[in-house]
Amino acid sequence: MGFGDTAKKIQRVTDIAEKLYERLNQVIEQVQDLKERVESTSEQLDAMDRELAEQRAIVEALAEQQGVDVEAVVDELPDPDAEGEGDAESGETGADGSDADGSGSDATDTSADTTDPDTATTND
């Protein structure tokens, strides 16, 4: 009877090994899929970084044309890492009722709407 018990144990170990092998193959496929997704995401981020750099260069060139000090404007932006301060995008207001930018108004600044005829462009 010793051989029968041994055969059952060997069959049980074989079944467990087969299940483990199947699971290992699934994990390998998942890792390969994840690797492909990470590479794709990395490529997308690289493309976005390039596009953002291009856009920043364009905005800085336009600001320079208009006589705007880009560094001063950037320095005035709220620090996103600062805690406990009002968030300009969330619409929080200060104790005096003003917005985070201190204007107290939801109206947009229309001073930039005036155009210089020398630099105006048309969409014909």
* Higher-scoring residue by pLDDT: 118, 34: 34
Please list, in sequence order, all residues whose beta carbon lies within 8 angstroms of the beta carbon of residue 15, skipping any fewer than 6 positions away: none
Encode pLDDT of 47-99 as tens digits: 999 999 999 999 999 999 999 998 888 889 898 887 655 544 444 544 445 45
Percent of the chain beyond pLDDT 70?
A: 65
pLDDT tops 90 at residue 29? yes
